[in-house]
């Protein structure tokens, strides 16, 4: 299982988590099958260092756009500015959608991202592929 992202979308997410640190940042990923076509940067309504709650208005706007463009919600991303590099217990308990959860965490050198599939409290790693081409 994998999730494919274009470099520009990858950079967009990375910049978003960076600018919001030390608070958690979040957003949605829309696309078809395993290819991300659009990244939505959503405000973290919780304004917290350890949890996120997507701004309901921003989320609704994204859902409408996704429906209008006949895409699917295929991922959710958020950051762990102070770690861990994996999903937290809260993430597992609050996983509301069957989509790939992308977690950005800050290491001493840079941000790293990992993908996870969470279902029935089971966590499986999903490979994240970044492509430079417009059409992978």
Q: Name the site residues for Zn ion (rule: CB under 5 A).
A: 88, 91
Both structure tokens of 7: 């470099």
- When the beta carbons of 88 and 131 are compared against Zn ion, the nearer one is 88
The SS3 call for residue 101 is strand
- When the beta carbons of 38 and 53 are compared against Zn ion, the nearer one is 53
CA end-to-end span of the chain: 16
CB of 69 to Zn ion, least distance (A): 28
By beta carbon distance, the residue nearest Zn ion is 91
CB of 64 to Zn ion, least distance (A): 26
State the alpha helices, DSSP H only, in 69-127. 89-94
CB of 84 to Zn ion, least distance (A): 8
- When the beta carbons of 38 and 51 are compared against Zn ion, the nearer one is 51
Both structure tokens of 34: 């395993």
State the alpha helices, DSSP H only, in 21-133. 56-68, 89-94
- When the beta carbons of 11 and 48 are compared against Zn ion, the nearer one is 48
CB of 91 to Zn ion, least distance (A): 4
- Using an 8 Å Cβ cutoff, are 121 and 128 in contact? no
| Residues with Cβ within 8 Å of residue 7, at least 6 apart in sequence | 130, 131, 132
């Amino acid at each position: 299982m994998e999730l494919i992202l274009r470099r520009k979308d990858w950079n967009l997410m990375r910049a978003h988590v960076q600018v919001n640190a030390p608070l958690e940042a979040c957003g949605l990923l829309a696309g078809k099958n395993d290819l991300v076509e659009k990244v939505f940067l959503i405000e973290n309504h919780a304004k917290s260092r350890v949890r996120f709650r997507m701004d309901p208005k921003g989320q609704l706007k994204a859902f409408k756009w996704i429906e209008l463009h006949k895409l699917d919600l295929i991922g959710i991303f958020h950051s762990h500015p102070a770690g861990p590099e994996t999903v937290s217990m809260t993430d597992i308990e609050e996983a509301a959608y069957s989509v790939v959860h992308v977690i950005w965490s800050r290491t001493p050198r840079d941000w790293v991202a990992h993908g996870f599939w969470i279902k029935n409290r089971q966590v499986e790693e999903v490979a994240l592929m970044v492509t430079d081409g417009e059409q992978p």
